[in-house]
Amino acid sequence: MSRSPNIADANLQTAIRAINIVNSKPNSRGREIMDSMQTLTFIILGAVLGFAGQAVRAVIGIKKEIEKAKAENKTIRDWFDGMELSVSLALGAIAGVLAAISVYQPDVLPSKDLLIGFLAAGYAGADFIGGFMQKWLPASKG
């Protein structure tokens, strides 16, 4: 006798919930805590969203440069620097990682506000990293 898909789906969902309960590690407050793979995933999420936030900023900047270049009758080769774009995106990813690490707690739960915060950290990119370095690293003499 074959089972209906709804019963199979319900059984699968029940099994997944049971596995999650067995694998969860409650902390002293009764909430689940992240294991090392979940922590790494959280930090990678920060990097990806930081990269995406900086990409939004880069697209806006490129659009403005295209309009300016058209007005000045220039080509893309005259003003576009792929290396600068790559560095900008890397700084956005680094900013996202720093944001993820700064809010990390073993029982943190991703929320819409948290994800938007990672995007915003990437959007601010170089400014975020510059402010972080200015606050935590000693000023250079000279």
**pLDDT, position 59:** 92
**pLDDT, position 8:** 55
Q: Residue 87 to residues 47, 81, 82, 84: CA-CA distances in angstroms?
A: 14, 10, 9, 5
Query: Quick check: pTM over 0.85?
Result: no
**pLDDT, position 49:** 95
Looking at residue 3, the DSSP 8-state letter turns out to be P
Structure tokens at 43: 């930090």
Residue 127, pLDDT above cutoff 90 = no
Between 11 and 35, name the one with better pLDDT: 35
Between 120 and 35, name the one with better pLDDT: 120
The verdict on 44 and 97 lying in the same domain is yes
Number of domains in the chain: 2
The string of pLDDT tens digits covering residues 27-59 is 445 556 778 888 899 999 999 999 999 999 999
Q: Residue 29 to residues 23, 35, 56, 90: CA-CA distances in angstroms?
A: 17, 16, 39, 37
The verdict on 17 and 42 lying in the same domain is no
**pLDDT, position 34:** 75
The string of pLDDT tens digits covering residues 71-109 is 888 888 888 888 888 988 999 999 999 999 999 988 888
Range of the structural domain that residue 108 is part of: 35-136
The verdict on 84 and 49 lying in the same domain is yes
What end-to-end distance do the CA atoms of the chain give, in Å?
A: 83
The verdict on 69 and 26 lying in the same domain is no
Separation CA 130–CA 105 (nearest Å): 24
Min mean pLDDT across 29-33, 72-76, 112-116, 133-137 is at 29-33
Cα 37 to the center of its chain, rounded Å: 16
